[in-house]
Amino acid sequence: MERRVYRLDLLRALAIMTVFTAHSVLSYGAPESLAWLQFGGTGVDLFFVLSGWLIGSQLFKELKRYKDVDIKRFWIRRWMRTLPAYYAVLIFTIAQLSLTKDDFSIPWNYFVFLQNYDYPLTFFTVSWSLCVEEQFYLAIAPILLFLSRFSANQRTIILLTLLILPSVFRDLDQHASLYETHVRWDCCIMGILLANLKYSFVDFWQKLLANSGVFLVVGMVLYCLFYVNRIVLDSPFSDPSKLILAFVFGGWVVWASIESGGRLYGHNIIMYISTRSYAIYLLHPDALAVCKRLFSEQHFLVYFSIALAISCLASEVLYRLVEQPIMNARSKFSWSCSRSELNGREVPSRA
């Protein structure tokens, strides 16, 4: 099992809590006094950077060690991590809607992660971001294997081009909605780009780490100002572009990639939220739907707390019964364990 990096878990916890807060405000009716908190929906973009960094680090590490990428193994391991919990929630939701709606038909595009190109979604609306990630997972391993033929400088230029492309597509209005993958991969590519710098430009990466505290502080100040911009009436400034967010969150990930020593205050809470963040993301819309029906007259803090409690309770069940067992099972089979685990099992020939 890979060792966890606390600071990255801290960012995962921050990402899910900002998203949860934004959706709670929307579910509550988005009163003007709270509407600015909906900017927390950008926590999804932070998740994208973290995902790009995680899989980028894995793939570049594999390239460095083995000179290639086992694409099939990568896909299997990612699918065993992400698909079981998703399908469990999807099937439960479809069963519920089939029993309660007269005109409901099974949306087959949800089973192959294409619903983000068929917007607006009529249910399970948060699944658009899962489509972005799954489509990205499908493409990135072959892309990086292809880019391994190029020099480090050429590879970096190509990745920078991929980073800019979504902005070009958005500016040219080449999309039906802003939930389509080709206009939302900025932050995913930023994570990949950072991993590329770590493994291909060691000296430059060390300079980034030396200034990581500055990146964190500047990024946090900017992020807070983005919230303030939502508060100010008739502000002349618009929300930041996804490309700007990619750089802000990329700076945070540089800081978070440094392992911190010791157990900080609130460590157990942070780790709990982080490890259950995927389950919370999948299930919190249902918790908010329950609260909207039963507790809509309560003060927002009460509403928020009840919804969070329901989300955590439901996610604990999903995590323990579905996510954790299948994640652990990956190391038990030769076709799903990591390459390092596979090599550890191999017995050297005596010939």
pLDDT of residue 220 exceeding 60: yes
Cβ-count burial of 161 within 10 angstroms (0-12 exposed, 13-18 middle, 19+ buried)?
exposed
**pLDDT at residue 267 in the model:** 86
On the question of pLDDT at 70 being above 50, the answer is yes
pLDDT for residue 1 is more than 60: no
Distance in angstroms (rounded) separating the CA atoms of residues 273 and 275? 6
Work out the angle at residue 306's Cα, subtended by the Cα atoms of residues 300 and 311, and round it to the nearest 5 degrees.
120
149 versus 342: the higher-pLDDT residue is: 149
How many Cα neighbours within 13 Å face the side chain of 136? 31
Answer whether the bond into residue 120 is a cis peptide, omega within 30°. Answer: yes
**What single-letter DSSP state applies at residue 194?**
H
The candidate with the shortest Cα–Cα distance to 190, out of 228, 211, 164, is 164
| Mean pLDDT on 25-47 | 96
pLDDT at 310: 98
**pLDDT at site 348:** 42
For residues 194-220, give the mean pLDDT.
Answer: 97
DSSP, residue by residue, 283-301: HHHHHHHHHHHHSTTS-HH
User: How is the chain split among helix, strand and coil, in percent rounded to 5?
Assistant: 75, 0, 25
What is the mean predicted confidence (pLDDT) over 320-346?
90
* Predicted confidence (pLDDT) at residue 141 exceeds the cutoff of 90: yes
Question: How many Å separate Cα 278 from the centre of its chain?
Answer: 8
Look at residue 347 and tell me whether its pLDDT is greater than 60.
no
Angle at 9 between CA 157 and CA 186, to 5 degrees: 25
Measured in degrees and rounded to the nearest 5, phi and psi for residue 181 equal -60, -40
Q: If 0-12 CB within 10 Å is exposed, 13-18 middle and 19+ buried, where does residue 65 land? A: exposed
Residues 6+ apart with CB under 8 A from 333: none
* Residues 262, 264, 268, 274, Cα dihedral to 10°: -100
Residue 223: which region, alpha, beta or left (left: phi > 0; alpha: psi -120 to 50)? alpha
Give the whole-angstrom CA distance, residue 327 versus residue 1: 10
How confident is the model over 115-138, as pLDDT tens digits?
Answer: 999 988 989 999 999 999 999 999
